[in-house]
Amino acid sequence: MNARMFAVRVALPVLAVAAISVEAHAADFDWKKFQGKTVTFLANNNPVAQALLTYKDDFEKLTGMTLKVDGYQEQQMRQRLVTVMNAHSDEVDVFMTLPSREGEQFSAAGWYADLTAMARNDVAKEYDPAGLSQALLKAATFGGKLTSMPMNIEGPIFYYRTDIFKKCGIEKPATIKDVEAAAAKIKACDSSVTPFVSRGLKPAIAYTFSNVLHNIGGSYIANGKSNLCSAKGKEALDTYSRLLRDFGPPGVVNYSFQQISALYRSGRAAMSFESSNELRTAMEGGARLKDTALMPFPAGEAGQVPTVIGWGLTVSSHSKQPDAAWYFVQWATSPAVQKKMALQGIAPPRPSVANDPEYRKWIDEEPVRKEWQAALDVLATKGSSEVGYPIVANPESREFIGQAVQDMILKQKSVDQACADADKALDALIAQK
């Protein structure tokens, strides 16, 4: 890592995080400072925003501001955002963002307001910015600028059926090889269930594949070049695609979280590697509550390097009222609101909330929730936010990762051919400015 890269990737984020860790909230902080103003929030209509917006009235009552919500599904929200930001419009004050996906890109495009100073100087006494996950704050810091505040913490985790494991005489898997061995045993022992399911839909693959790659010890980039054709990269491609091809459901190449959760919930999958956010959906109806165990994805040669990401709230750089917009961001990511959201199953990005007695009581109600929280604790401490290539064109890089995996699932290419084609395309992306 050269000096410049060190400064950008390590030193500046650490400094930015340290800067907001300073106890420096304004003594005269007044929630009513922007009374009468209207803040427009471009929301992704996912469970995180849905839980947050349950308390919209509380925000309006507390601040005297009006919150105008412009809500869409994830992809449509990004379309709207691209249009608004390319037009330099001030129509949107606050928007939701995934730093692991678009952070580099939006930051380079100048779409994020710099929140560093606001998070240091303009905070309520109870806000406690230092109490937010340092890993997520670091992941949201680009070029030394803090660009968003974390709303939740999430990542892919391993769901498995204890009853099927018991019936087939299988121990809890400790390594990736154990997962494959367990899948083979289940296939022989109970042909009515799908042994293993995870994401096979092209743009969605990077989310789960990255965890496998990192556990095996691979990396996306080495010496400024795409690294999928390294021994570890090929092993990861081979392992992930083999698991899905040999033990996954038919049609797995069209599987994303909806199909995976539906299959697991219906009792027709023995192991599922899917987002922690899907706990509620997978447990819906209660059929899986008593026969499911959860943990981070089993270790590879490099141990457990789980993927951890979180949705963030950010202020648009084109907002004409960034200070008022910041008040909404601050309220939405405050300990009090995040505790309320946590009780609705949104994993909190604050250790203090995760240890709150009321939240712990909710967690302790079901063993599966305890395991879920334990898995999230591992994600929070050991996790990597690298989902796809850490480059400006990250969303496009996910296409090529997904293509390589799909080519192998569908037996259209050998691992050498798939990784070589992907590396060629990805090297071109890396070279782009």
Partner 1 sequence: MSDAAATMAQGRQRLELSALSAPAVIFTVAMIAFPVVYTIWLGFQSFSNTGKQSFAGLANYSKLISDNEFWHGLWVTIALYVLSLVLQLVFGIWLALILFHAKRLPGIVRSLFISPFMMPPVVAGMMWLVILDPSLGAANYILQSLGLPPSEWLASPTWVIPTVALIDSWQWTPYVALIVLGGLQSLPSSVYEAAQIDGASAFKTFQRITLPLLLPTIVTAAILRSVDLLRFFDIIYITTQGGPGNASNTLNIYGFRVGFEFFNIGYASALMLTLTAIVLGAVLAFNRLRGAVAW
- Amino acid letter for position 366: E
Q: Does 253 bind partner 1 (CB under 8 A)?
A: yes
Q: Please, is 37 exposed, middle or buried when counting C-beta atoms within 10 Å of its C-beta (0-12, 13-18, 19+)?
A: middle
Q: Does 414 bind partner 1 (CB under 8 A)?
A: no
Q: Which residues contact 272 (CB under 8 A, 6 or more apart)?
A: 158, 159, 160, 196, 197, 198, 260, 261, 263, 264, 282
Q: Please, is 423 exposed, middle or buried when counting C-beta atoms within 10 Å of its C-beta (0-12, 13-18, 19+)?
A: buried
Q: Which is nearer to partner 1, 372 or 400 (CB)?
A: 400
Q: Does 110 bind partner 1 (CB under 8 A)?
A: yes
Q: Does 105 bind partner 1 (CB under 8 A)?
A: yes
The string of DSSP codes covering 226-246 is E-TTSHHHHHHHHHHHHHHHH
SS3 content of the chain, % helix, strand, coil (to 5): 50, 15, 35
Which of 392, 415, 419, 430: binder of partner 1 (CB under 8 A)?
392
- Please tell me whether residue 156 adopts helix, strand or coil conformation: strand
Cα of first residue to Cα of last residue in the chain, in angstroms, is 19
CA-wise closest residue to 273 among 247, 251, 250: 247
Q: Does 8 bind partner 1 (CB under 8 A)?
A: no
Q: Does 169 bind partner 1 (CB under 8 A)?
A: no
Least separation, in Å, of the C-beta of 109 and partner 1? 4
The stretch among 31-39, 120-128, 131-139, 399-407 that binds partner 1 (CB under 8 A) is 399-407
Q: Which is nearer to partner 1, 320 or 433 (CB)?
A: 433
Sign of CA dihedral 113, 337, 385, 97: negative
Q: Does 262 bind partner 1 (CB under 8 A)?
A: yes
Q: Does 393 bind partner 1 (CB under 8 A)?
A: yes
Q: Does 249 bind partner 1 (CB under 8 A)?
A: yes
Which of 16, 42, 85, 363: binder of partner 1 (CB under 8 A)?
85
Q: Which is nearer to partner 1, 259 or 307 (CB)?
A: 259
- Please tell me whether residue 67 adopts helix, strand or coil conformation: strand
Which residues are registered as beta bridge partners of 38? 66
Q: Does 192 bind partner 1 (CB under 8 A)?
A: no
Footprint of partner 1 on 263-322 (CB under 8 A): 263, 266, 268
CA-wise closest residue to 39 among 90, 100, 89, 82: 90
By CB under 8 A, the count of residues binding partner 1 is 36
Q: Which is nearer to partner 1, 42 or 380 (CB)?
A: 42
Other CB atoms within 10 A of residue 260 CB: 29
Least separation, in Å, of the C-beta of 301 and partner 1? 29
Footprint of partner 1 on 55-84 (CB under 8 A): 75, 78-79, 82
Which of 206, 403, 423, 430: binder of partner 1 (CB under 8 A)?
403
Which of 131, 203, 267, 367: binder of partner 1 (CB under 8 A)?
203
Q: Which two tokens stand for residue 297?
A: 């994805």
The stretch among 8-16, 163-171, 249-257, 294-302 that binds partner 1 (CB under 8 A) is 249-257
Distances (CA, A) of 108 to 88, 112, 386, 433: 15, 9, 17, 10
Least separation, in Å, of the C-beta of 146 and partner 1? 19
DSSP H/E element including 179: helix 176-189
Residues within the interface to partner 1 (CB under 8 A): 75, 78-79, 82, 85-86, 105, 108-110, 194, 201-203, 249-254, 259, 262-263, 266, 268, 392-393, 395-396, 403, 406-407, 410, 412, 432-433
